[in-house]
Structure 1
Amino acid sequence: MSNEWAVVAGATGTIGTAITTMLSERGLRVLGLARHGDQGRGIRSVDLTDSESVSEIASEIEGDVRVIVHAAGAELGGGIRGVDPASVLAAMEVKVTGLLRIVRATHHLLIPGSRIIAVTGHLGYDPVPAAVGAGVANAALGALIRQ
């Protein structure tokens, strides 16, 4: 097995599960991150909104990081007239600040040619009325990843 790693946030979701499977099949060791870990599948419980929780992930990686995939989801939040601003901030914490925390925790393990991939939903560019939180967070994540 390779000594190159993939770090996948949102590893227990539908998309994250498919990504972790594919990366593993391609020979990468995968550190899956999710709100609710699954030790049987090697997925670590991590709170992406907590810097201390995320900072601990680097100690579990014994090698180089080839790819970071951020596929964690955010709550829809509701419509603009009734959305709680705290829910918009919570979505931003998971989608945007969560990725920043992962990169800060693992940047010293990235090797030349490594990739950072952010999975955003269509709500970031094709909003719907009941999804202000997810829409704003996905749009911001798209802007962040282009930096």
Structure 2
Amino acid sequence: MSEDAVVVGATGTLGSALVRRLASRGLRVVAVARSEESLSTMADSIDGEVAPCPADIASNDAIAAIQGALSGQVRIAVLAAGLPVRGSVATIDADLLAVGAQVKMGGIVRLLQAVRPSLGPGSRFVAVAGTLGLEPGRDEAGPGGINAGLINLMKQISQHHGPDGVTVHTVVPGPMDTPRLRTIAGTIAAERGTTVEEVWQEYGAKVSLGRLPRVDEVVWAIENLLAPEADVMHGTVLHLDAGGLRSPH
């Protein structure tokens, strides 16, 4: 029987890198994203088996779409969708908090309901959250509140599925040097009336390693959860912030 991997947010910077890495391991990757065209383009560029699955994880329709794309046991399922929400508590449209929660909090529940019948001993269930969910910042009301909720939900999921041999992992990268983060820096700079360069310097100053984490490093960490020894990491939060998180968690 073939083994599947499921990646939600498959056309994003992190998601596409993860699809490529998992396909290179011989897994059949069900790549989930909203754009059928972007999924098809990505699948054609990868040397491996990728099954495009156009679906919006913010909608319950995604459950049936993902289930219909599966072909065997799910070895690993990852929610790597980004948040379409920006702004501080002073400026954010409050309705957008619900939109973001549908993507990450509702999304993780939908992903679980989609893959649960195909999980078994040794399967990994993974969510990519963010350090703002643990250590709030002044400019990101959405990522702070929503990722905190996602981390809590993952703890609940781990309590449900640990006895089944299905391990549950929350991966918490700090800010990564990606085009998306540079766009966010531009939004913050506009809100403050400052420059993108100043905001970017603030990101770097918060990281004791002296640089932001790279996408390939985060992908490496997620891939290593497939090792049998990663069972012991069940229920934990894996910090990949390059020394950015100050508070003990």
Q: TM-score, normalised by structure 2?
A: 0.55
For these two proteins, the number of residue pairs brought into alignment is 146
Unaligned runs of at least 5 residues, structure 2: 44-50, 157-249
Do the aligned residues in 1 keep the contact of 2:53 with 2:69 (CA within 8 Å)?
no
Unaligned runs of at least 5 residues, structure 1: none
Residue of structure 2 equivalent to 1:146: 155
Which of 51-60 and 15-24 deviates more? 51-60
Do the aligned residues in 1 keep the contact of 2:84 with 2:100 (CA within 8 Å)?
yes
Distance apart, 1:126 and its partner CA: 2.7
Do the aligned residues in 2 keep the contact of 1:95 with 1:138 (CA within 8 Å)?
yes
Greater share of strand residues, 1 or 2? 1
> What CA deviation, in whole Å up to 9, does each residue of 1:5-29 have, x standing for no partner?
0110011111111111111111111
Which of 51-60 and 131-140 deviates more? 51-60
> What CA deviation, in whole Å up to 9, does each residue of 1:123-143 have, x standing for no partner?
212322221112111111111
Do the aligned residues in 1 keep the contact of 2:63 with 2:113 (CA within 8 Å)?
no
Distance apart, 1:62 and its partner CA: 1.1
Taking every aligned residue pair, what percent have the same amino acid on both sides? 36
Residue of structure 2 equivalent to 1:73: 82
Superposed CA RMSD in Å reads: 1.5
Matched to 1:96, the amino acid is: M
1:89-104 maps to which residues of 2 (within 5 A)? 89-104=98-113
Higher RCO structure (Cα 8 Å, ≥6 apart): 1
Residue of structure 2 equivalent to 1:3: 2
Residue of structure 2 equivalent to 1:86: 95
- The 3-state SS of whatever aligns with 1:113 is coil
CA distance in 1, matches of 2:121, 2:32: 23
CA distance in 2, matches of 1:51, 1:118: 18
1:39-78 maps to which residues of 2 (within 5 A)? 39-40=40-41, 41=43, 42-78=51-87
1:19 aligns with 2:28: no
Do the aligned residues in 2 keep the contact of 1:8 with 1:30 (CA within 8 Å)?
yes
Residue of structure 2 equivalent to 1:108: 117
Q: TM-score, normalised by structure 1?
A: 0.91
Which of 122-131 and 108-117 deviates more? 122-131
Do the aligned residues in 1 keep the contact of 2:6 with 2:74 (CA within 8 Å)?
yes
Structure number with bigger Rg: 2
Do the aligned residues in 2 keep the contact of 1:96 with 1:144 (CA within 8 Å)?
yes
> What CA deviation, in whole Å up to 9, does each residue of 1:11-65 have, x standing for no partner?
1111111111111111111001112232231432211111023322111111111
